[in-house]
C-alpha cells in the first residue's frame, strides 16, 4: 500500500526507520527487532541507503527481510548524488517488480573525502531531481522526502530552505519526514512555514531517541540540529554511568513525543538505531 494512503487512512500511528546491518550478527538482531516492533503495528518501516549506493545490496537484503513479514509496508531510501540514471533504473525496476510501492527520495551527501564536490556537474544535483525522475518514469511509486526543521546545513536561510522544499513538493513528493530535532518549537515553526508556502503534504516528525548525549551532539552538529543545553547538562551529570544517562534521555524523548501528540502530531516516525529495547520503553510510555 502507498504510504500517502496509509497516512490518510490511519489517523494515528508510528513508523520505524532502520539501517541495513553489515554483519550476520546484526542481521539476526534486526530480525528480532522487527519481530518486537511489529507488535506495535507500524504504519510503515523504512530502510536507509548509503550515499552513492554504498549499502545498495545490504539495503535490498534488509528490505526483503522485512517484506517476508508480509503485513509490513517497507520503504527503501534511495540517494541520487553521484549516481547515473541507469543504475537507479535497475534498482527501481527491481523494487517495482518485487511489489515495493514507496521510495524515500534523497540527494545524499557528497563523499567525505571530496569537500569540493561539484553538485551542478551531476546527472542528479538535488533531491528534487530524483523525485521528478521517479514520478516521471515510475508514476506508481509514492515518494517521501526529507525536510529540515532548523534548515538544511547547506542552506543560507529558512526562506531558501522552504523554497527548495517547495520545489521537491512541486516535483511530486507525496509526504515528508523531518530531520531529527529536540526542541519541538522548530517542528511547529516548520509546519507554519510550510502551510504559508502552500505545502500541504503530511510532514512526519522524525524522532531520535536520546541515549548518549555526546554522540548525538556530534551528529547533531553536522545536521544543524540543536541539542537544548538543559538536557545536555542533565544527561552529562551521568557521563560515568551510561545506563542512567540513557534513562534521562529516554524520559526526555517520551516527554518530547507527548508534547508532539498533545499538539496534534498523531503519526510519529522513529529513527530506531535498530535498538528494540529503547523503542519499546518509549512506545509503552506513549501508548
Residue 85, CA atoms < 13 Å, CB-side half-sphere: 13
The minimum distance between CB 248 and ligand FAD, in angstroms, equals 25
User: Which of the ranges 8-16, 86-94, 151-159, 188-196 carries the binding residues for ligand FAD, by CB under 6 A?
Assistant: 151-159
CA neighbor of 183 nearest in space, from 277, 260, 244 = 260
Q: How many residues at the interface with ligand FAD, by CB under 6 A?
A: 23
Does residue number 4 form part of the binding site for ligand FAD (CB under 6 A)?
no
Interface segment toward ligand FAD; rule CB under 6 A; list 103-111, 234-242, 249-257, 272-280: 103-111
Q: Could you say which of 179, 184, 256, 267 contacts ligand FAD (CB under 6 A)?
A: 179
Residue closer to ligand FAD (CB basis): 154 or 233: 154
Q: Which three cell numbers stand for residue 235?
A: 544527561
Q: How far is the CB of 249 from ligand FAD (least distance, A)?
A: 20
CA distance linking residue 181 with residue 179, whole number of Å: 6
Tell which one of 107, 186, 207, 235 touches ligand FAD (CB under 6 A): 107
Least distance to ligand FAD from the beta carbon of 107, Å? Answer: 3
Apex CA 24: angle with CA 110 and CA 87, to 5°? 35
Residue 224 or 247: the one with the smaller Cβ distance to ligand FAD is 224
As measured in angstroms, the least distance from the Cβ of 1 to ligand FAD is 20
CA max distance for the chain:
53
Beta strands at 102-106 and 142-147: parallel, antiparallel or unpaired: parallel
- Is 51 a binding residue for ligand FAD by CB under 6 A? The answer is yes
Binding characters for ligand FAD, 117-146, by CB under 6 A (x = yes): ---------xxx-----------------x
How many other CB atoms are there within 10 angstroms of residue 158's CB atom?
A: 17
At its nearest, how many Å lie between ligand FAD and the CB of residue 77?
3
The yes or no reply on residue 177 touching ligand FAD (CB under 6 A) is: yes
49 lies in the site for ligand FAD, by CB under 6 A: yes
In the set 11, 17, 89, 150, the catalytic residue is 17
Question: What is the C-alpha separation between 63 and 138, in angstroms, rounded?
Answer: 19
Per the CB < 8 A criterion, the answer to whether 136 and 80 are in contact is no
Q: What is the Cα–Cα distance from 117 to 122, expressed in whole angstroms? A: 10
Helix axes 24-38, 56-68, angle to 10 degrees: 40
Q: How far is CA 54 from the centre of its chain?
A: 18
The interface with ligand FAD within residues 208-267 (CB under 6 A) comprises none
17 noted as active-site residue: yes
Nearest to 28 by CA among 61, 70, 72, 77: 61
Contact at 8 Å (CB) between 44 and 74? yes
Decide if 106 contacts 59 (C-beta within 8 A).
Answer: no
If one asks whether residue 197 binds ligand FAD (CB under 6 A), the answer comes out as no
Q: Give strand pairing partners of 106.
A: 79
Q: Which residues are the active-site residues?
A: 17
Residue ranges that bind ligand FAD, judged by CB under 6 A: 48-49, 51, 77, 79, 106-109, 126-128, 146, 152, 154-155, 161, 164, 167-168, 177, 179, 206
Amino acid at each position: 500500500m502507498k504510504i500517502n494512503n496509509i497516512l490518510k487512512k490511519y489517523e494515528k500511528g508510528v513508523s520505524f526507520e532502520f539501517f541495513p546491518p553489515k554483519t550476520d550478527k546484526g542481521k539476526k538482531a534486526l530480525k528480532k527487532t522487527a519481530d518486537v516492533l511489529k507488535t506495535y503495528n507500524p504504519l510503515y518501516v523504512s530502510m536507509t541507503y548509503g550515499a552513492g549506493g554504498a549499502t545498495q545490496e545490504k539495503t535490498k537484503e534488509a528490505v526483503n527481510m522485512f517484506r517476508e513479514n508480509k503485513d509490513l509496508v517497507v520503504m527503501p531510501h534511495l540517494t541520487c548524488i553521484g549516481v547515473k540514471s541507469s543504475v537507479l533504473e535497475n534498482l527501481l525496476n527491481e523494487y517495482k517488480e518485487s511489489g515495493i510501492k514507496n521510495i524515500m527520495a534523497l540527494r545524499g551527501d557528497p563523499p567525505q573525502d571530496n569537500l569540493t564536490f561539484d553538485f551542478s556537474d551531476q546527472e542528479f544535483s538535488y533531491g528534487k531531481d530524483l523525485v521528478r525522475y521517479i514520478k516521471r518514469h515510475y508514476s506508481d511509486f509514492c515518494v517521501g522526502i526529507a525536510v529540515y526543521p532548523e534548515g538544511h546545513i547547506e542552506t543560507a536561510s529558512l526562506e531558501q530552505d522552504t523554497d527548495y522544499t517547495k520545489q521537491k513538493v512541486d516535483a511530486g513528493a507525496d509526504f515528508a519526514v523531518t530531520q531529527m530535532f529536540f526542541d519541538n518549537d522548530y517542528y511547529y515553526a516548520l509546519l507554519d512555514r510550510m502551510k504559508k508556502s502552500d505545502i500541504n503534504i503530511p510532514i512526519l516528525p522524525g524522532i531520535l531517541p536520546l541515549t548518549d548525549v555526546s554522540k548525538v551532539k556530534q551528529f547533531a552538529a553536522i545536521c544543524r540540529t540543536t541539542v537544548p543545553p538543559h538536557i545536555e547538562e542533565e544527561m552529562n551529570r551521568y557521563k560515568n554511568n551510561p545506563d542512567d544517562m540513557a534513562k534521562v534521555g529516554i524520559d526526555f524523548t517520551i516527554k518530547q513525543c507527548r508534547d508532539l501528540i498533545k499538539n496534534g502530531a498523531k503519526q510519529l516516525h522513529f529513527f530506531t538505531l535498530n535498538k528494540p529495547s529503547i523503542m519499546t520503553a518509549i512506545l509503552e510510555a506513549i501508548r
